[in-house]
Amino acid sequence: MKETRSPDGAVHEKCILVRALESSDMDAFAEIMSLPGVRRGTLSVGYRSPEQLAAWYERRLKSGVNVCAIIDGRVVGHAGLEVHRPSRAHCAHMGLAVHDAYHGRGVGSALLQGLIDCADGSLGLRRIDLTVFSDNAPAIALYRKFGFVEEGYSRGFALRDGILADVLHMARLVEAPRLQTI
- Tell me, yes or no, whether 154 lies in a domain: no
* pLDDT the model gives residue 7: 47
**Confidence (pLDDT) at 61:** 66
CATH number at residue 90: 3.40.630.30
Q: Which of 31, 78, 24, 84 is nearest to 54 (CA)?
A: 24
Identify whether the C-beta of residue 88 lies closer than 8 Å to the C-beta of residue 118. Answer: no
What pTM does this model have? 0.85
Does some domain include residue 177? no
Residue 179: inside a domain: no
Residue 171 lies in a domain: no
What total number of domains does the chain contain?
A: 1
The reply to whether 90 falls in a domain is yes
| pLDDT < 50: residue spans in the chain | 1-13
Q: Which domain holds residue 50?
A: 2-129
Q: Decide if 161 is inside a domain.
A: no
| Residue-level pLDDT at 178 | 64
The verdict on residue 182 lying in a domain is: no
